[in-house]
């Protein structure tokens, strides 16, 4: 059978080559239609019991992995200037927007920093509990409030650190480290609508760090995902170029003929084009 097929292809070389060339061009035209998948690829089948249990969990409690964390460890946050600057960083990040359909859109649901902490207080008259902000002069933006003093800043920090609820959430009880949590809209974060929001936060954080001389450290699943994605996107061209070069060198060592090497690389290029075109097409 294979001998017969080879004989047919050899007898009809020109139509075969033209057909392959036309199909390759068609597949190449499909490559621009490739789209990036912003969600996780599922490992388990959709009807797997574990996958179904996970879907029920998400339906009940919501999705995770949409929090970016900024951490610092510096005594300056106990000063009025330092704590005010930390709050201003939170507000600057909260004000960041992404562009959706040509209009600015909010992707950051909330920013929670040390200055946004509150405590529960009893309202004896109305017999109910109420939430009292620990730094109202910063959170509520009192227009005539004097600049935050060092004593007041230290008082706010000490009050937050005295509340066990915030241990491991806003501060580390073993040192002076404190955290700021940036919560994203989960649906927008897992779509092309996220734009460059994480890169913008990194830029704002680095600029704030340089201005105030306080080292910032970023973490969280959004930061890790997008950092790794950008790294792979930036290096994939080098990998492809290196792979082609190494393949060409190996073929040259084996065949010692440029024509054979060129044909082999052309076959590889056609295969890659068909693979990418098939992904975009189907």
Per-residue model confidence as pLDDT tens digits over 45-70: 888 888 888 888 878 877 667 899 99
pLDDT of residue 40: 65
188: in domain: yes
Residue 86 shares a structural domain with residue 203: yes
pLDDT of residue 125: 79
229: in domain: no
42: in domain: no
3-state class (DSSP) for residue 171: strand
**Nearest alpha-carbon partner for 70 in 52, 85, 60, 57:** 85
Domain boundary residue among 185, 219, 253?
Answer: 219
Domain boundary residue among 219, 246, 274?
Answer: 219
Residue 197 shares a structural domain with residue 155: yes
* CA distance linking residue 133 with residue 137, whole number of Å: 9
pLDDT of residue 65: 78
For the chain, give the longest Cα–Cα distance.
99
Domain boundary residue among 190, 219, 248?
Answer: 219
Per-residue model confidence as pLDDT tens digits over 233-246: 788 889 888 988 99
Q: What angle do CA 117, 156, 75 make, to 5 degrees?
A: 110
In the predicted model, residues of the chain with pLDDT beneath 50 are: none
Residue 144 shares a structural domain with residue 206: yes
Domain count, the chain: 2
Residue 207 shares a structural domain with residue 263: no
109: in domain: yes
Residue 203 shares a structural domain with residue 264: no
* CA distance linking residue 213 with residue 266, whole number of Å: 55
The residue ranges of DSSP E strands in 145-258, in sequence order, are 177-184, 217-219
pLDDT of residue 88: 93
pLDDT of residue 54: 80
- Which residue range is the domain that position 33 belongs to? 20-37+235-282
User: Would you say the C-alpha torsion 196, 179, 83, 76 has a positive or negative sign?
Assistant: negative
């Amino acid at each position: 059978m294979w001998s017969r097929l080879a004989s047919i292809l050899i007898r009809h070389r020109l139509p075969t080559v033209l057909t392959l060339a036309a199909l390759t061009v068609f597949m190449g035209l499909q490559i621009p239609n490739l789209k990036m998948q912003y969600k996780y690829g599922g490992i388990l089948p959709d009807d797997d019991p574990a996958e179904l249990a996970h879907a029920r969990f998400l339906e009940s409690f919501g999705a995770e992995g949409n929090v970016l964390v900024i951490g610092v460890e510096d005594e300056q946050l106990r000063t009025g200037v330092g704590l005010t600057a930390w709050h201003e960083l939170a507000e600057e990040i909260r004000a960041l927007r992404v562009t959706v359909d040509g209009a600015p859109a909010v992707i950051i649901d909330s920013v929670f920093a040390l200055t946004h902490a509150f405590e529960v207080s009893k309202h004896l008259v109305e017999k109910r509990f109420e939430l009292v902000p620990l730094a109202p002069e910063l959170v509520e933006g009192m227009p005539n409030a004097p600049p935050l003093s060092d004593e007041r800043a230290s008082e706010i920090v000490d009050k937050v650190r005295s509340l066990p609820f915030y241990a491991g959430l806003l501060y580390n009880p073993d040192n002076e480290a404190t955290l700021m949590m940036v919560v994203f809209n989960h649906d927008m974060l897992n779509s092309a609508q996220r734009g460059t929001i994480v890169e913008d936060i990194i830029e704002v954080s680095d600029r704030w760090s340089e201005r105030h001389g306080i080292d910032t450290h970023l973490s969280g699943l959004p930061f890790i995902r997008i950092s790794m994605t950008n790294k792979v996107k930036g290096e994939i061209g080098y990998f492809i170029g290196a792979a082609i070069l190494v393949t060409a060198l190996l073929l040259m060592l084996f065949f010692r003929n440029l024509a054979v090497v060129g044909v082999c690389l052309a076959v590889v290029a056609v295969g890659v084009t068909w693979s990418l075109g098939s992904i975009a097409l189907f």
